[in-house]
């Protein structure tokens, strides 16, 4: 198990696992959440990842689901294309989620996370009941494998998410709290939201961003500390409420700038938690 408040980074295995985790180790970051690497979903792939993790000492804390056909272009497109909520793709994506959870189990990772999409805010909406039942079934399946399922925040209010968690009513349902998403989707204020959701938060994304300026558009992601999250207050409140899990940096760009922003974010988080 990672030490308390271990730094982490959201990582994709675009390179071979050993190279990818060595790059994380070079940043002096001891944990990762990884996007599901379909190309490594084999006995050899699992062995290669486990070997890379053992050799580098970088622990994988979560496998994140992603689905073909998703687009984050703007809010209506996210609503129509992302996660398990859209009915036309739900069955196929549920099968994919089962496959991802099985992969995570073979890898020895007990936490699977996803954006499930825009859950209707009206609990009387029949579509709401459908998605509650879908997540109940998924949680039950994962519980049988000793796993938890974490909901990535951002596409609903904290109050709406709390209602949903209560209605699903499964003990292995968790929250992966991304404060920037709440802002980027214009949904909620991330610091009061912590108080509402704390009992379920077992992972976070340290990410920053600015509020949207036009209806229907997403806000703009920024390097950590440069957006509207108020990282200092958010982090201090998170810790004050008792959170001790990994602090996983997420920076959704690529290349050298991403590496620099992650390194700067790491230094910023270290200095804030030492205050
Ligand atoms: Mg996130």
How many angstroms is it from 25 CA to the middle of ligand 1?
21
CATH of the domain at 245: 3.20.20.150
CA distance 267 to 190: 22
How many angstroms is it from 90 CA to the middle of ligand 1?
21
Strand 201-206, strand 208-209: pairing: unpaired
Q: How many domains does the chain have?
A: 1
Mean pLDDT per 10-residue section of the chain, whose length is 275 residues: 91 97 98 98 98 98 97 93 96 98 98 96 93 98 98 94 97 98 96 97 98 95 98 98 98 96 98 95
How many angstroms is it from 115 CA to the middle of ligand 1?
8
Phi, psi of 235 (to 5 degrees): -65, -40
CA distance 82 to 57: 33
Containing structural domain, residue 56: 7-273
Q: Which region holds residue 216: left if phi is over 0, alpha if psi is between -120 and 50, else beta?
A: left
CA distance 73 to 60: 29
CB of 48 closer than 8 Å to CB of 40? yes
243 vs 57, 194, 211, 247, CA distance in Å?
A: 23, 10, 26, 10
Residue 13 lies in a domain: yes
How many angstroms is it from 239 CA to the middle of ligand 1?
19
Collect all residues with Cβ–Cβ distance below 8 Å to 270 and sequence separation of at least 6.
Answer: 7
How many angstroms is it from 118 CA to the middle of ligand 1?
15
How many angstroms is it from 56 CA to the middle of ligand 1?
24
How many angstroms is it from 181 CA to the middle of ligand 1?
7
Residue 2 lies in a domain: no
Q: How many CB atoms lie within 10 A of CB 6?
A: 17
Residue 34 lies in a domain: yes
Residue 107 lies in a domain: yes
Helix and strand element counts for the chain (H, E): 10, 10
Residue 1 lies in a domain: no
Phi, psi of 217 (to 5 degrees): -95, 150
124 vs 68, 82, 88, 136, 173, CA distance in Å?
A: 30, 22, 21, 17, 21
How many angstroms is it from 32 CA to the middle of ligand 1?
13
Collect all residues with Cβ–Cβ distance below 8 Å to 193 and sequence separation of at least 6.
Answer: 153, 157, 158, 177, 179, 182
Which pLDDT score is estimated for 2? 76
Dihedral (Cα; 215, 217, 218, 220), 10-degree rounding = -100
- What pLDDT, in 10s, does the model give residues 125-181? 999 999 999 999 999 999 999 999 999 998 899 999 999 999 999 999 999 999 999
Which pLDDT score is estimated for 1? 63
Residue 144 lies in a domain: yes
Residue 210 lies in a domain: yes
Residue 26 lies in a domain: yes
CB of 36 closer than 8 Å to CB of 103? yes
Bridge partner list, 64: 35, 113
How many angstroms is it from 179 CA to the middle of ligand 1?
8
How many angstroms is it from 250 CA to the middle of ligand 1?
6
SS3 content of the chain, % helix, strand, coil (to 5): 45, 15, 35
CA angle 133, 193, 154 (to 5 degrees): 55
Residues counted in the chain: 275
CB of 231 closer than 8 Å to CB of 188? no
How many angstroms is it from 117 CA to the middle of ligand 1?
13
How many angstroms is it from 205 CA to the middle of ligand 1?
5
Q: pTM of the prediction?
A: 0.97
């Amino acid at each position: 198990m990672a030490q308390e408040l271990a730094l982490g980074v959201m990582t994709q295995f675009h390179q071979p696992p050993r190279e990818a985790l060595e790059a994380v180790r070079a940043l002096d970051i001891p944990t990762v959440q990884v996007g599901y690497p379909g190309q490594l979903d084999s006995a050899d792939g699992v062995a290669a990842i486990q070997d890379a993790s053992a050799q580098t000492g970088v622990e994988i804390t979560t496998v994140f689901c992603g689905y073909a056909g998703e687009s984050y272009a703007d809010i209506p497109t996210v609503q129509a294309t992302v996660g398990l909520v859209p009915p036309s793709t739900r069955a196929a994506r549920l099968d994919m989620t089962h496959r991802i959870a099985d992969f995570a189990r073979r890898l020895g990772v007990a936490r699977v996370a996803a954006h499930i999409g825009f859950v209707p805010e009206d609990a009387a909406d029949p579509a709401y009941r459908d998605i509650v039942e879908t997540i109940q079934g998924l949680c039950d399946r994962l519980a049988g494998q000793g796993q938890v399922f974490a909901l990535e925040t951002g596409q609903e209010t904290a109050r709406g998410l709390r209602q949903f968690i209560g209605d699903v009513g499964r003990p292995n349902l968790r929250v992966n709290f991304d404060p920037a998403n709440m802002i980027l989707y214009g949904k909620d204020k991330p610091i009061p939201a912590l108080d509402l959701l704390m009992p379920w938060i077992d992972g976070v994304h340290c990410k920053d961003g600015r509020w949207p300026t036009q209806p229907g558009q997403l806000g703009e992601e920024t390097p950590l500390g440069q957006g509207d999250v108020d990282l200092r207050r958010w982090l201090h409140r998170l810790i004050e409420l008792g959170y001790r899990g990994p602090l996983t940096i997420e920076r959704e760009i690529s290349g050298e700038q991403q590496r620099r922003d992650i390194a700067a974010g790491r230094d910023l988080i270290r200095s804030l938690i030492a205050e």
